[in-house]
A and B are shown apart, each in its own frame.
Chain A
Amino acid sequence: MADEPSWFERWVDELLNNDRFQRLAAKILVPYWAWRTAVKPQPGGPHFSMQPGDNVMRMMNLVMPLKDKSPVGRAKAALAIAQNKDEIYAGLDNVGTVHFARFVIVADNICMFSVYDGDFTNYIRDFIATIGSVFDAVVGLVEGGDAVIPSERNIEAFIDWVHAHDLYQVPDLATDLLRDQEAVNGAQPCTAGNDLRLLPRALILQLHVNSNVSLGSGYRAYPGYSVAQVRQQLGIGW
């Protein structure tokens, strides 16, 4: 039978919820372990998969820091979207693989969140062809954006730039984070396992180098269907 914990044990048990200890962890322990066990940021976007279900309803979560981090800068970004609403909607209809797309301003970032079917590279390529000018108007307001506009003349660089701003999608299965870590380090998949208790640290250190992530690949009310299938089944298009 287990004995009652002593006052010292109880105090230690409370440490995890202690503000001072949490500040210590954030300021000292996280940077220390990030230095000791360097973690590379995981690439953004969905994981590669050949399976049909994995290639429909994919998420793009672009978080792009604005150059002008003032209300005026944020308003300029909002205006760039508002002025191009017709171009955006026509482009989305023409691309034909987008379930939904929206622009959001979060703090000093202009964000584009969308759910699309098919390959990411082709998705961006289609957008450049149909609404490249809108992308240019938005990306021109973003840090580092000048280097890749006009997008029509910098297609590959533009695609890479967008990919770099797409959020890492933390795997739906918790322990697959360890597999992602092996992959980004160029290590062979480790069938022998790792210390499972270090999984939380792996997440903390990934969030240290990658402060914005998508938690999983998202809930779908009707998973596994493309825009084309949904529209055809509902009798509303294409």
Chain B
Amino acid sequence: MSQSSEAKQLVDAVISDFPDHAAGTRPVHTIGVGVKGTFVASDVARNYCIAKHFQGEPVTATVRFSNGSGSPVQHDGWSDVRGMATRFHLGDQEATDLIAMTLGEFFSADVAAFLAFTKAAQPGPVERQSPWQKIWDMLQLKPPLPGPMPGQSNDLGAAGMLKYANRHAAAQLAVFQAGMIGAPVSYARASYHAVHSFVVIDAFGVRRHVRFSWQPVAGVRTTDPAIPPRDDYLRQELEQRLERWPARFMLMMTIGEAGDAFDDPTRPWPDKRIRVVMGTLTLQRLAPDQTADCEQLSFNPCRLTAGIEVSNDPILRARRDAYEVSRQMRGGSGCPFSGGSANGR
């Protein structure tokens, strides 16, 4: 299969999980908000990576926070994965992206498994367990399935995902974590994980496999699941928060060791790995032009700069072309890969 047909297949597969997906919008993480800020590397960051944004000079950044769903209908309060796509503007039209989400791992380790997963995750009808089924579950010491959210019109693929995970151990962790991820009280109060490993290169040419995470200085907090969810609060909350005070995130870089799952995004690395504070992102205000600075922007996890390279993670490599296909389908702004640039290869 050619790269472009595989990429198209991936995008189509993702879109098929959202029956009400609107053409011309992102296949997933459809609803989001753009924010402007500044990233300043820590004093030690340059010891690990020669990339421009890790040298200590302040770098302007554009961030797009998003809800995970590919539906155009906003449900901020539903339990869902959230995204934080960051563009570091390095000057002279150069930029690098870091795409992260609140889930700490991915559902599949390769493209074939991902296609099978998306097929399994097709949404089905909303099915509320009967009380008798719930009692039977409880008698088996099995927590009953959560009921649908107010206004939920399909099961969001939950039943299919669970069935898939029961047959594929590699998907279990992501499905389990996604099932209890909740909704953040604020986009600025969630941790975001880039999930894939990258290779960073230092001034001596030493190459290290690493993974990046954003940790909110304001702390992590989710909404109370016992309170009925609100559909529209995250953007307003962020705007009001930034009017009062900037929101900050620390960029943490975990260094992998030989034997770690460098190329498998379904396996988080042990917490015992060395982690380095690479810098602080300070978010100051919502982007004034949400269309140009948010919706039109096309992020790509493989838009990298000298000093950072992709690992052999097959999902990461597949995302490179899939994001480009997605950009073309929705008419997003230019991507460095459309002209065949070697960046990110």
Contacts and interface: CB of A to CB of B under 8 A. Distances in A.
Interface stretch (B15-23, B170-178, B207-215): B170-178
A178 B172 CA distance: 10
A196 interface: yes
Interface string A127-151: 0000000000000000000000000
B148 A8 contact: no
B75 to A, nearest CB: 14
Interface string A186-228: 0001111111111111001100000000001101100111000
Q: How large is the interface on A (under 10, 10 to 19, 20 to 34, 35 or more residues)?
A: 35 or more
A57 interface: yes
Contact of B273 (A5, A12, A197, A224): A224
Interface in A13-64: 13, 15-16, 21, 25, 29-30, 33, 50-54, 56-57
Which label, helix, strand, loop or mixed, suits the secondary structure of the B interface? Answer: loop
Contacts of A2: 126, 128, 147-148, 150, 152
A197 B170 contact: no
B174 to A, nearest CB: 9
Given A2-B147, A51-B257, A192 B167 contact: yes
Contacts of B260: 51
A175 B272 contact: no
Contacts of A172: 270-271
Interface in B280-332: none
A174 interface: yes
A52 B257 contact: yes
Question: Which residue of B145, B150, B259 has the most chain A CB atoms within 10 A of its CB atom?
Answer: B259
A29 B140 CA distance: 8
A12 B173 contact: no
Contact of A173 (B139, B165, B173, B275): B173
Nearest to A57: B272
Nearest to A216: B271
Contact of A53 (B142, B177, B257): B257
A54 B270 contact: yes
B143 A51 contact: no
A220 B141 contact: no
A15 B172 CA distance: 27
A72 interface: no
Nearest to B177: A174
B333 interface: no
B141 A204 contact: yes
Contacts of A178: 169, 172
25 contacts: A1-B153, A8-B131, A11-B131, A12-B131, A29-B141, A51-B258, A51-B270, A53-B257, A56-B272, A172-B271, A174-B176, A175-B169, A175-B173, A178-B172, A193-B172, A196-B165, A196-B166, A197-B142, A200-B143, A201-B141, A204-B141, A216-B271, A223-B274, A224-B255, A224-B274
Interface of B: 126, 128, 131, 134-135, 137-145, 147-148, 150-153, 162, 165-173, 175-177, 255, 257-260, 268, 270-275
Interface of A: 1-3, 5-6, 8-9, 11-13, 15-16, 21, 25, 29-30, 33, 50-54, 56-57, 172-175, 178-179, 189-201, 204-205, 216-217, 219-220, 223-225
